[in-house]
Structure 1
Amino acid sequence: MTDTFKRLEGASLDSRYPLGEILDAIRFNDDGLIPAIAQQHDSGEVLMMAWMNREALEETLATGRVCYWSRSKGKLWRKGESSGQQQHLRSAALDCDGDTLLMQVDQTGPACHSGRRSCFYVSLEGEDARITSAPLIDPEALYGKR
């Protein structure tokens, strides 16, 4: 844990710190990434987890439109740029270690590339895995044939 986040443990309610100082203290992994969890702001539904580098996080904070780092494409990925299913940031918070980001978002349509509202639709139940939701939109309608 960085000294910054250790110091924040004792911070009083409504203390303020320069954003740059906090961004400098984030514990990005060896690839320069941090896990970013997107949660629907009004329902609490966990929609997805993706990765952000510092540039994606700064863009998200500056524009209010959620931007991730695509590990498969090796570039910034603005949620909804091909599907139209955007995420708009309502708030963002780091965990106590500065190594995970939780974002409250307003999601347009499905968050998952499968066309489902949430990426978390495979429930592990005893000896089985059960699909808990159907696609809201056919993925081919969102992205075309892959």
Structure 2
Amino acid sequence: MTLTRTHLFGFVGLVALAFALYWAKAEAQAVREKVLVLQEEVDTERRAVRTLEAELTWVERPDRLEAAATRKLGLVPMTAERIATLDDIDQIAPLRAAKPNAADAQTLAPTDAEQKPTVSVADKPKAVAAKPAPITTVVGR
């Protein structure tokens, strides 16, 4: 039996196809292993996210936040007695008298440089008793 060029090219082609098939199979196995590693990382991260979500749910519990705000910040729950109107605020902290502008200051200035302005008892601000709890909300009239 004689080998011809056709047989030789056929044999070389068959060896090349076998090598290509082996290489493709090896690449597919490497990709499959990489996918498994990445899938494991994704599962690990999902478990970590679920753990963090559970911790966040625990941290944001209203009863725990209320207890921490009371214990550490001295905050108390809102009650109806702590709501004030604008009139109440004006009694607690009255606005200061507006400062006169430069033209008014010249007309109001004493003629004698040594003369000191006197303040009458009626012009002095009155002391206002402090309420036991601070006001936290203002409601319009």
TM-score (norm 1): 0.16
TM-score (norm 2): 0.17
Larger RCO, structure (CA 8 Å, separation 6 or more): 2
* The structure with more helix, counted as a fraction of residues: 2
* The structure with more strand, counted as a fraction of residues: 1
